[in-house]
């Protein structure tokens, strides 16, 4: 990304855990994993200049992006799905 100003997009990541299928809490990833993930996304995905991790607790039924978010995060850190 460099030092120049950019007007690209932000990428929001969200990973949740749920024991009852009705409520969901954010997954507490270690900061080093989030840092490596953000760096890779910014460096490898054109048009992204900011990565944020959503720690909002919500009901699982309203979290339609949870699976896609976990998948993107796993791929970003080189994990297997």
Q: For 14-40, how does the pLDDT look when each residue is reduced to its tens digit (9 = 90+)?
A: 888 888 777 888 899 999 999 999 999
Examine residue 81 and state whether it is found in any structural domain, yes or no: no
Q: Are 51 and 41 in contact (CB under 8 A)?
A: yes
Per residue in 40-62, pLDDT (tens digit) is 999 999 999 999 998 988 765 55
* Domain span including residue 24: 9-76
For 59, the 3-state DSSP assignment is strand
Domain count, the chain: 1
With the C-alpha atoms ordered 74, 53, 65, 8, is the resulting torsion angle positive or negative? negative
17: β partners: 25
Beta strands 48-53; 9-13: pairing state: parallel
Examine residue 33 and state whether it is found in any structural domain, yes or no: yes
The pTM of the full predicted model, rounded to 2 decimals, is: 0.64
> In this predicted structure, what is the pLDDT of residue 42?
93
CATH for 50: 3.30.300.10
> pLDDT-based confidence at 77, cuts 50/70/90?
low
């Amino acid at each position: 990304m460099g030092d120049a100003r950019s007007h690209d997009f932000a990428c929001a990541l969200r990973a949740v855990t749920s024991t009852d299928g009705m409520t969901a809490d954010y997954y507490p990833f270690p900061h080093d994993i989030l840092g490596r993930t953000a760096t890779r996304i910014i460096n490898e995905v054109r048009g992204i200049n900011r990565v944020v991790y959503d720690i909002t607790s919500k009901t699982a039924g309203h979290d339609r992006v949870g699976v896609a978010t976990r998948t993107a995060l796993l791929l970003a850190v080189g994990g297997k799905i």
